[in-house]
């Protein structure tokens, strides 16, 4: 049987998320239905799961997978539209909200999806193919400065200026159309021992930019906290420091009961804490999981409970 994606921190995710087997849950990153299946298996006949994915292939696969399952409703939408989905389903509040960020192994391994520098494909990197701008548009039309900033900000790549400069020189001669076109440019100006790291960072930067991943995550977290029942859980799995920082800082901010400037004589901010953090430190996969599923190595799970 083809394994499209192995769910990461599967047991821990469910342990933190599912507190009521009759509850209503939201999985914002359906993918190939790994975590969604686990949630469904933890629910009674009265429980309900709403799952969504922007990726059409993942959505179609999971639609078939769950075609006989009455306790799940699937959407091919962005998780930042959780409020719209809740309205459509007439759900006032969720018992638990989950997201397993990033891309699936299927997206990385399928050459045509163009998500990995390891496979040659059109330079696209959009999860949602209806988005207007793809990675080739960015690489071929953005200014050198904007390109450098994207590579630095979203890839945390120190050589961003040099990479952007060379991209702009090459594209004057020939359009950069494929993942191979871009990786050849990068490997030519990077010492061999840094090839993998630099390629990963540049592709990550373009992917985050094209899909507006960080803003989408911020919006999703804010709306999710609005839409959680008291004692409901928010469980997020992230795979790189930029995402994890947003989750960590949002959770922290939502625990505060005052945001008045330091030294204010009295508190007049009216800040109300909305979350209690459950994972003081992020939960990470153990050695066995990393051995079995190398892609789990960078995963960090954070969970919080609505007050
Ligand atoms: C790591 S995979 C999830 C795998 C899933 N947990 C499983 O076990 O099969 C991440 C999935 O989230 C989707 N995704 C990423 N960002 C999204 C967003 N903003 N809205 C909806 N889906 C998103 C991707 O298309 C991908 O299928």
Residue spans per domain, the chain: 10-106+214-306, 132-210
The whole-angstrom separation of Cα 284 and Cα 75 is: 29
Atom index in ligand 1 nearest the CA of residue 33 equals 9
Distance 190 CA to ligand 1 centre (A): 31
Per-residue pLDDT at 4: 80
271 phi/psi in degrees, rounded to 5? -70, 135
The whole-angstrom separation of Cα 258 and Cα 272 is: 7
Distance 149 CA to ligand 1 centre (A): 26
Per-residue pLDDT at 110: 81
| CATH architecture of the domain with residue range 10-106+214-306 | 3-Layer(aba) Sandwich (3.40)
Q: What is the DSSP letter of 122?
A: B
Would you give per-residue pLDDT tens digits along the chain (307 residues)?
A: 466 889 999 999 999 999 999 999 999 999 999 999 999 999 999 999 999 999 999 999 999 999 999 999 999 999 999 999 999 999 999 999 999 999 998 888 887 777 889 889 999 999 998 999 999 999 999 999 999 999 999 999 999 999 999 999 999 999 999 999 999 999 999 999 999 999 999 999 999 999 999 999 999 999 999 999 999 999 999 999 999 999 999 999 999 999 999 999 999 999 999 999 999 999 999 999 999 999 999 999 999 999 9
Q: Which residues contact 262 (CB under 8 A, 6 or more apart)?
A: none
Pairing of strands 300-306, 228-238: antiparallel
The whole-angstrom separation of Cα 205 and Cα 214 is: 11
Atom index in ligand 1 nearest the CA of residue 31 equals 27
CATH superfamily of 132-210: Putative methyltransferase TM0872, insert domain (1.10.150.170)
| Structural contact between residues 100 and 237, judged by C-beta atoms closer than 8 angstroms | yes
Distance 228 CA to ligand 1 centre (A): 20
Q: How far is CA 222 from CA 127, 206, 226, 237, 257, in A?
A: 22, 24, 7, 16, 17
Per-residue pLDDT at 3: 67
10-106+214-306 and 132-210: identical CATH topology:
no
Atom index in ligand 1 nearest the CA of residue 104 equals 2
């Amino acid at each position: 049987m083809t394994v499209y994606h192995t769910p990461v921190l599967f047991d821990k995710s469910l342990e933190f998320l599912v507190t009521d087997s009759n509850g209503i849950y939201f999985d914002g990153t359906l993918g190939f239905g790994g975590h969604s299946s686990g949630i469904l298996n933890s629910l009674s006949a009265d429980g309900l799961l709403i799952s969504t994915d922007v990726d059409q292939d993942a959505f179609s696969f999971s639609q078939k997978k769950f075609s006989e399952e009455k306790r799940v409703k699937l959407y091919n939408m962005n998780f930042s539209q959780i409020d719209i989905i809740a309205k459509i389903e007439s759900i006032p509040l969720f018992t638990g909200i989950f997201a397993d960020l990033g891309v699936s192994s299927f997206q990385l391994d399928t050459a045509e999806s163009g998500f990995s520098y390891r496979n040659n494909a059109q330079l696209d990197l959009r999860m949602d193919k209806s988005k207007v701008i793809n990675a080739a548009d960015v690489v071929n039309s953005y200014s050198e400065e904007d390109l450098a900033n994207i590579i630095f900000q979203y890839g945390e790549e120190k050589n961003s200026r040099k990479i952007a400069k060379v991209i702009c020189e090459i594209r004057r001669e020939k359009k950069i159309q494929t993942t191979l076109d871009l990786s050849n440019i990068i490997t030519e100006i990077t010492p061999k021992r840094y090839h993998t790291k630099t390629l990963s960072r540049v592709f990550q930067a373009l992917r985050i930019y094209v899909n507006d991943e960080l803003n989408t995550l911020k919006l999703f977290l804010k709306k999710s906290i609005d839409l959680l029942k008291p004692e409901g859980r928010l469980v997020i799995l992230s795979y790189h420091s930029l995402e994890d920082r947003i989750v960590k800082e949002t959770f922290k901010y939502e625990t505060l009961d005052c945001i008045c400037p330091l030294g204010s004589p009295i508190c007049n901010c009216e800040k109300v804490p909305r979350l209690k953090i459950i994972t003081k430190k992020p939960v990470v996969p153990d050695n066995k999981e990393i051995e079995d599923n190398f892609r789990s190595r960078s995963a960090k799970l954070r969970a919080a409970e609505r007050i």
